């Protein structure tokens, strides 16, 4: 099974990214202040708290359980180094957010509004409803509208920054010179290469930014 998962490494990289973007929807916050304040990683002025880490980690684990049913066990998880992978994704998020601020990447109120009212979680019969929105924030997610909207704004800025980096990536004919088959297969290969190159570009960019940032990780907290 681990071999199969490795073959789909690009997919899982994207999966981690999506889960991190949406982790606020997946669980209820804790009332334990010390849990919220313990810091797993410091990246410049940004931090990853223990609460944020474990929430993201549980979300990723649940995704794998849902996808692979009983085949995803503790042994596979250890071989994948899932804890480290989740932490690296969260660190990447913080680095990209810092870079977005430095690059002047912003999210307009209109973009924020469109994202929220377009979320099916807050719709009834295909229409956004304010009462559903406020009720879910208060009773299910236990966050204020301000906290939630600031989180969504951060995630939109993160997406914009990632797309900005990926915009310079392309697949040229030389990349496909050894690919044979019909047009469908060639297009699938092109798309796979584009994802691979995009992810590599983002990772390279993140590493270059990290080199000029103060960086500290407390692995003991999550080990």
* pLDDT, tens digit (0-9, with 9 covering 90-100), for 116-151: 999 999 999 999 999 999 999 998 878 899 988 988
**CA nearest to 191, candidates 14, 3, 66:** 14
Total domains in the fold of the chain: 1
In a domain, 160, yes or no: yes
Within a domain: 203:
yes
What is the CATH classification number for the domain harbouring 172?
Answer: 1.10.4030.10
- Mean pLDDT comparison of 69-73, 74-78, 182-186, highest-scoring range: 74-78
Torsion of CA 20, 24, 30, 36, to 10 degrees: 50
Residue 174 lies in a domain: yes
Average of per-residue pLDDT across 7-20? 50
- Return the higher-pLDDT residue of 28 and 106: 106
Could you tell me the residue range of the domain that residue 99 belongs to? 2-215
User: Residue 222 falls within a domain, yes or no?
Assistant: no
Q: Is residue 223 situated within a structural domain?
A: no
Query: Phi/psi at 177 (nearest 5 deg)?
Result: -65, -25
Task: Tell me whether residue 221 is in a domain.
Answer: no
The strand order across the sheet containing 46-49 reads 46-49, 39-43, 215-217
pLDDT band at 22 (very low <50, low <70, confident <90, very high): very low
Interval 24-63: pLDDT, tens: 444 444 455 555 579 999 998 888 899 888 888 888 888 8
């Amino acid at each position: 099974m681990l071999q199969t998962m490795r073959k789909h490494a690009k997919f899982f990289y994207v999966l981690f990214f999506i889960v991190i973007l949406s982790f606020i929807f997946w669980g209820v916050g804790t009332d334990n202040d010390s849990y919220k304040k313990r810091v797993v990683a410091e990246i410049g002025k940004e931090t990853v708290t223990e609460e944020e880490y474990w929430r993201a980690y549980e979300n990723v684990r649940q995704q794998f359980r849902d996808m692979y049913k009983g085949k995803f066990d503790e042994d596979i998880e250890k071989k994948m180094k899932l804890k480290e992978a989740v932490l690296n994704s969260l660190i990447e998020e913080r680095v990209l957010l810092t870079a977005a601020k430095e690059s002047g990447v912003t999210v307009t109120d209109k973009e924020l509004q469109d994202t929220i009212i377009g979320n099916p979680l807050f719709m009834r019969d295909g229409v956004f409803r304010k009462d559903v929105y406020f009720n879910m924030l208060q009773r299910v997610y236990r966050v204020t509208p301000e906290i939630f909207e600031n989180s969504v704004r951060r995630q939109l800025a993160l997406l914009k920054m990632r797309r900005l980096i990926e915009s310079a990536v392309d697949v040229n004919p030389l990349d496909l010179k050894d690919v044979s088959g019909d047009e469908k297969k060639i297009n699938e290969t092109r798309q796979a290469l584009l994802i691979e190159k995009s992810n590599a570009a983002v990772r390279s960019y993140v590493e270059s930014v990290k080199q000029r940032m103060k960086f500290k990780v407390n692995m003991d907290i999550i080990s």
